């Protein structure tokens, strides 16, 4: 499928969309725009775009599809700008923001002019940011939520999906209000909780410096998303204030109930609290990609001798299995002195597990 796509914002998401489009449609023209010249140069070097934008207005006005891959407040400003321009007949404008109600409200300025706007939210990401972290398979098997306007046709939806076919994502249509309720619960609220856990540790760090070493393992996993871009999460939070406040009030009530159980030293109540959470969590499809980036870790119980890490990584390299991070964990609540290897996908992790089980005598496991 030939045509012209314009990607505004060449970060992790914008770069990954460009890679997916060009892999599926090598004859397509993908024009990239970003305020950072470094990101543009890197996007071209990675073949995430074919051309750099020299006149954004002119290129958007001749585009077949426009992807607004910017922070949500910037997306609102872009929508206001584009509403003053003209668009090619049949062209589609879409975004990738984590909130949809305000974006869709702002997009009425486009649809009132007869333009086609379809809200979008690919529910996949990474703990890394910038176009350098882009992957052609970032969205593979992830949910890609679409919030079409009231006048969007099936043909227009189909056209956008064809442009995104290379992502291999699973498309779902949702109402904007419903979208913000759901993502508030499974994405925005957990980011605040993760950040609050880090603040709790920070408060005692000055008097208990050892805590930074001991807060490994489970704490690291629970709080990892707190390392996400604070500017992006500031904007997302302000875009979804009402939902997040409602969830936080519910969280306060939940914690009050826990305190009550502890005050009563209610053994059965404490057991049921943990057990019900375990049962519900164990039945969730946690291996699927969702709103919070997944981290595919493999643990290897290795002996302490020189060259052991290069031995392990060499075995994986021989099988052409890519890793994104490697570290030795000194302390973990239930795992001691193990090598932790992080993979980009669950498939890579499974291949790594099979490789190391077949070629080494060491214990290899996932948690």
Give the list of residues 6+ apart from residue 210 with CB closer than 8 angstroms, or none.
none
| 3-state DSSP assignment of residue 5 | strand
CATH 1.25.40.10 fits 179-258, yes or no: no
Whether 334 has a pLDDT exceeding 50, the answer reads no
Question: pLDDT digits over 243-276, tens only?
Answer: 999 999 999 999 999 999 999 999 999 999 999 9
What is the mean predicted confidence (pLDDT) over 335-340? 63
Distance of CA 359 to CAs 155, 305, 314, 354, 355, Å? 52, 18, 11, 9, 6
* Mean of pLDDT values over 331-359: 76
Domain spans of the chain, in order of start: 4-174, 179-258, 296-365
Q: How many angstroms separate the CA atoms of 195 and 295, rounded? A: 18
The stretches of the chain forming alpha helices (DSSP H) are: 12-24, 37-45, 56-61, 72-82, 101-106, 108-111, 154-163, 176-183, 189-205, 211-214, 218-223, 230-239, 241-263, 267-282, 308-318, 346-359
Among 114-123, 226-235, 296-305, the range scoring the smallest mean pLDDT is: 296-305
Structure confidence by residue, pLDDT tens digits, 174-221: 999 999 999 999 889 999 999 998 898 888 877 887 777 776 666 777
Neighbours of 132 (CB within 10 A): 15
Q: How confident is the model at residue 286, as a pLDDT?
A: 55
CATH number of 296-365: 3.30.70.260
Report the mean per-residue pLDDT for the chain. 88
Confidence of residue 168 (pLDDT cuts 50, 70, 90): very high
Topology (CATH level 3) of domain 4-174: Rossmann fold (3.40.50)
Specify the pairing of strand 51-52 against strand 29-33. parallel
- At 216 the pLDDT is 60
- Global pTM value: 0.76
DSSP 8-state class, residue 294: P
Query: What pLDDT digit, counting tens, does each position of 80-127 carry?
Result: 999 999 999 999 999 999 999 999 999 999 999 999 999 999 988 765
pLDDT number for residue 152:
93
8 Å CB contact between 347 and 320? no
Give the distance, in angstroms, between the CA of residue 311 and the centroid of all CA atoms in the same chain: 32
* Distances 16 to 19, 44, 65, 140, 359 between C-alpha atoms, Å: 5, 12, 16, 11, 34
Confidence of residue 343 (pLDDT cuts 50, 70, 90): confident
Which band of pLDDT confidence, cut at 50, 70 and 90, is reported for residue 288?
Answer: low
Query: Looking at the predicted structure, is the pLDDT value of residue 348 above 50?
Result: yes
On the question of a common fold for 179-258 and 296-365, the answer reads no
**Residues above pLDDT 90, as percent of the chain:** 58
Please say if the pLDDT value at position 335 is more than 50.
no
pLDDT value for 289: 53
């Amino acid at each position: 499928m030939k045509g012209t796509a314009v990607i505004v914002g060449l970060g992790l998401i914008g770069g990954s969309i460009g890679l997916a489009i060009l892999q599926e449609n090598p004859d397509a023209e993908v024009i990239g725009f970003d305020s950072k010249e470094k990101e543009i140069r890197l996007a071209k070097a990675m073949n995430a775009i074919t051309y750099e934008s020299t006149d954004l207005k002119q290129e958007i006005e001749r585009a077949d599809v426009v992807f607004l891959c910017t922070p949500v407040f910037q997306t609102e400003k872009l929508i206001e700008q584009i509403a003053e321009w003209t668009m090619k007949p049949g062209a589609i404008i879409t975004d990738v923001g984590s909130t949809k109600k305000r974006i869709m409200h702002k997009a009425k300025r486009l649809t009132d002019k007869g333009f086609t706007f379809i809200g979008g939210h690919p529910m996949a990401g990474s703990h890394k940011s910038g176009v350098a972290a882009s992957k052609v398979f970032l969205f593979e098997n992830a949910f890609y939520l679409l919030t079409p306007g009231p006048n969007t046709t099936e043909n227009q939806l189909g056209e956008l999906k064809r442009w995104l076919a290379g992502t291999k994502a699973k498309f779902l249509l949702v109402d904007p209000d419903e979208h913000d309720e759901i993502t508030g619960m499974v994405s925005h609220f957990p980011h605040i909780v993760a950040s609050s856990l880090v603040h709790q540790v920070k408060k005692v760090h000055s008097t208990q410096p050892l805590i930074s070493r001991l807060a490994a393992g489970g704490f690291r996993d629970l709080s990892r998303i707190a390392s996400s871009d604070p500017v992006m999460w500031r904007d997302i939070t302000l875009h979804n204030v009402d939902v997040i406040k409602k969830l936080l009030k519910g969280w306060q009530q939940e914690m009050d109930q826990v305190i009550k159980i502890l005050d009563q030293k209610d053994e059965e109540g404490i057991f049921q609290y943990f057990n019900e959470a375990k049962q519900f969590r164990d039945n969730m499809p946690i291996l699927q990609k969702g709103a919070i980036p997944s981290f595919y870790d493999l643990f290897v119980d290795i002996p302490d001798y020189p060259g052991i890490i290069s031995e392990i990584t060499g075995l994986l390299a021989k099988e052409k299995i890519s890793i994104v991070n490697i570290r030795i964990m000194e302390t973990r609540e239930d795992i001691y002195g193990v090598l932790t290897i992080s993979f980009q996908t669950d498939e890579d992790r499974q291949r790594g597990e099979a490789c190391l089980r077949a070629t080494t005598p060491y214990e290899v496991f996932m948690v």
